[in-house]
């Protein structure tokens, strides 16, 4: 590597890590306990060594002319235990145990004037890059292979995809929740440029992109920031981690949220995704372990530093881009995660929905299905409004480590059975009609039945096998997003579960925004293997109520539709606290969705 020229003084340019300027690169690293720091340039670490100058507060930096994007480097840290370390801020690495790569943030985002959807229009599709569109026995899938399926997602009607973590992790196969280098984009998936290309392609189709971030622990494998500059206390991890009894989580060591340089490191990472990569929102993994030693709600385990970290990052990024969404995977139904004055999240995954609904759908006997529990799940709310929760029946957590996907759990060994199709799609109807931001996990729309493993790709042949189920998901999403302007209430804040028949296993609820024709929506769910010829339900107005979706329609599956179901006319007979009512034909394990034209 020739033509290298180095300033002997610290750099005056801002930025951590390797920052490209016209003619060179600024290197800066935080290593307060190092006696000296150099940057070692070259693919094998033997080409050029450049000494960095000491700044204040443990920073070291230098401007190095002649270095260009693509150069490989590591930091050499001097002290009692001198060693080479990868750059904590590296945007790209050769691999998780390799060398840092100088990366430019330049990218052609095109001319599309894309805006993140309003939160009431969000329908999220969670996917794992390595398995979403992959081939059996080969390397993991990539950002390019996900891009190749964007037209499927656009046709399905989702408005956002949520990528499981894509930061550099150990090896090639992983869920991603073991981040070794949080600023570097996983090389096996394609690296930072390819991720930006996927985001641009999604935005061109009016699909938002969310990404999972992991701040509750780091590593534990291939973790160069572990005892980064040689200092640590006891068996702690050094400057980036707590070194006392706050350090341990079930997954790895907890960062030191009380150390300003560490909170800045995590805040810079969040800002990188939202601004440099134009990500539309962040889903934070296991926030309960950021705010609490044991991941619960016991105040004795509170970590005030963790609360402050979340408040800082959500407030700073929301001040700059208020339309972007921070989602917490907290799962402790803690209102303070999303309420004003709390952690600052716009929404949180709702354990009060997924668990009772799954129990109701998977119970073998109808008698064991609790209609009241489903009522409570539909109507559950956090302070601040209906968009404060994300609702779903499957995520990577529910369907991994041997835990069956919903169709398989409904009828083990026969996930394509009538029961599995009927009850899993009934669950989908509840997801898309209940108040909250709906989410599905990859393959639900294809009746995927294999539990999630990071080495096994989705079975895309099921798109043909269960083409009708795929159509049903598309129809439900269109209703949720009010694509035909007949179901505005499904994007509104209000819900009234006005009918709960525990013995008959029938539930009905009213959704609305402003109310009136094309706004008021009535959802009727039959949780039993029993048909009703004329089941009377309360309705808010007289007149014709049009059947917008019948999950038992034979077009969705050849063995559906044993019972004809039509529009209904409401008369001025009060019922269920409503001024009017009508009778409907209600098939088994079915959801009916009604609204009026006028």
> Which candidate, 345, 215, 212, places its Cα nearest to that of 282?
212
pLDDT at 2: 57
Tallying the residues shown for the chain, one arrives at 598
- Please count the helices (runs of H) and the strands (runs of E) in the chain: 13, 28
290-335 confidence digits (pLDDT tens):
999 999 999 999 999 999 999 999 999 999 999 999 999 999 999 9
> Which candidate, 319, 249, 324, 327, places its Cα nearest to that of 290?
249
At 130 the three-state DSSP class reads: helix
Backbone angles phi, psi at 509, to 5 degrees: -145, 155
Give the E-state strand segments of 47-106 in sequence order. 48-51, 53-54, 59-65, 72-77, 83-85, 100-101
514-526 confidence digits (pLDDT tens):
999 999 999 999 9
Distance CA 179, CA 265 (A): 14
CB 214 within 8 A of CB 165: yes
Region 74-92: mean pLDDT is 94
Measuring CA to CA, how many Å separate 430 from each of 30, 424, 455, 553? 50, 10, 31, 17
Which DSSP letter does residue 272 get?
Answer: I
Distance CA 463, CA 465 (A): 6
pLDDT at 46: 67
167-220 confidence digits (pLDDT tens):
999 999 999 999 999 999 999 999 999 999 999 999 999 999 999 999 999 999
| Rg of the chain on CA atoms, in Å | 27
> Which candidate, 349, 114, 322, 317, places its Cα nearest to that of 209?
114
At 290 the three-state DSSP class reads: helix
527-543 confidence digits (pLDDT tens):
999 999 999 999 999 99
Other beta carbons within 10 angstroms of residue 360's beta carbon come to: 25
What is the average pLDDT value for the chain, to the nearest integer?
A: 96
397-416 confidence digits (pLDDT tens):
999 998 999 999 999 999 99
Neighbour order of strands in the sheet with 568-570: 494-501, 506-512, 521-526, 590-595, 543-550, 568-570
Distance CA 422, CA 407 (A): 9
Distance CA 500, CA 480 (A): 23
> Which candidate, 91, 98, 7, 87, places its Cα nearest to that of 44?
98
> Which candidate, 562, 470, 460, places its Cα nearest to that of 141?
460
pLDDT at 569: 98
At 561 the three-state DSSP class reads: coil
pLDDT at 113: 83
CB 208 within 8 A of CB 116: yes
First to last CA, the chain: 75
Left (φ > 0), alpha (ψ -120 to 50) or beta: where does 561 sit? Answer: left
> Which candidate, 484, 580, 582, places its Cα nearest to that of 524?
582
Distance CA 278, CA 114 (A): 10
């Amino acid at each position: 590597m020739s033509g290298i020229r180095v300033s002997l003084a610290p750099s005056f340019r801002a930025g951590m890590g390797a920052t490209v300027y016209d003619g060179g690169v600024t290197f800066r690293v935080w290593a307060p306990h190092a006696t000296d720091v150099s940057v070692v340039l070259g693919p094998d670490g033997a080409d050029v060594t450049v000494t960095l100058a000491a700044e204040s507060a443990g920073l070291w930096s230098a401007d190095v002319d002649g270095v260009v994007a693509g150069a490989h480097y590591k930091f050499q840290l001097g002290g009692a235990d001198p060693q080479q370390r990868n750059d904590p801020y590296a945007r790209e690495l050769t691999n998780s145990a390799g060398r840092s790569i100088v990366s430019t943030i330049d990218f052609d985002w095109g001319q599309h004037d894309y805006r993140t959807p309003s939160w009431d229009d969000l329908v999220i599709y969670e996917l794992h890059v390595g398995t979403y569109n992959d081939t059996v026995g080969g390397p993991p899938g990539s950002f390019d292979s996900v891009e190749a399926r964007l037209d499927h997602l656009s046709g399905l009607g989702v408005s956002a995809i949520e990528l499981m973590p894509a930061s550099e992790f150990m090896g090639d196969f992983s869920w991603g929740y073991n981040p070794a280098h949080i600023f570097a984009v996983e090389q096996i998936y394609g690296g930072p440029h390819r991720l930006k290309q996927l985001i641009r392609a999604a935005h061109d189709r009016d699909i938002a992109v969310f990404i999972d971030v992991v701040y509750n622990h780091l590593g534990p494998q291939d973790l160069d920031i572990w005892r980064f500059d040689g200092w640590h206390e006891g068996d702690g991890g050094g400057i980036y981690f707590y070194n006392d009894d706050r350090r341990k989580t079930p997954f790895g060591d907890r960062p030191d949220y009380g150390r300003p340089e560490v909170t800045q490191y995590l805040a810079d990472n969040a800002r990188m995704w939202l601004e440099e990569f134009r990500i539309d929102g962040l889903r934070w993994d296991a926030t309960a372990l950021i705010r609490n030693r044991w991941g619960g709600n016991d105040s004795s385990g509170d970590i005030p530093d963790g609360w402050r970290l979340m408040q800082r990052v959500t407030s700073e990024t929301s001040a700059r881009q208020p339309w972007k969404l921070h989602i917490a995977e907290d799962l402790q139904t803690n209102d303070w995660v999303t309420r004003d004055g709390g952690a600052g999240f716009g929404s949180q995954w709702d354990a009060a929905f997924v668990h009772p609904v799954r129990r109701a759908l998977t119970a073998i006997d109808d008698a064991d299905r609790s209609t009241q529990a489903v009522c409570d799940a539909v109507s559950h709310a956090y302070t601040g409004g209906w968009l404060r929760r994300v609702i779903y029946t499957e995520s990577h957590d529910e369907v991994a480590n041997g835990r069956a996907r919903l169709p398989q759990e409904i009828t083990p060994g026969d996930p394509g059975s009538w029961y599995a199709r009927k009850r899993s799609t009934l669950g989908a109807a509840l997801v898309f009609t209940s108040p909250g931001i709906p989410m599905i996990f990859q393959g639900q729309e294809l009746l995927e039945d294999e539990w999630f493993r990071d080495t096994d790709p989705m079975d895309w042949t099921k798109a043909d096998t269960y083409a009708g189920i795929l159509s049903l998901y598309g129809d439900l999403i269109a209703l949720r997003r009010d694509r035909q302007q007949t179901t505005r209430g499904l994007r509104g804040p209000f819900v009234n579960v006005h009918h709960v028949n525990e013995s008959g296993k029938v539930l009905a609820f009213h959704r609305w925004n402003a109310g009136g024709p094309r706004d008021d929506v009535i959802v009727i769910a039959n949780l039993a293997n029993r048909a009703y010829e004329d089941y009377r339900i309360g309705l808010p107005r007289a007149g014709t109520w049009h059947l917008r979706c019948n999950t038992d329609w034979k077009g969705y599956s050849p063995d559906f539709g044993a019972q004809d179901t039509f529009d209904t006319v409401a008369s001025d007979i009060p019922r269920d606290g409503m001024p009017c009512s009508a009778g409907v034909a209600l098939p088994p394990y079915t959801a009916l969705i009604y609204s009026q034209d006028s």
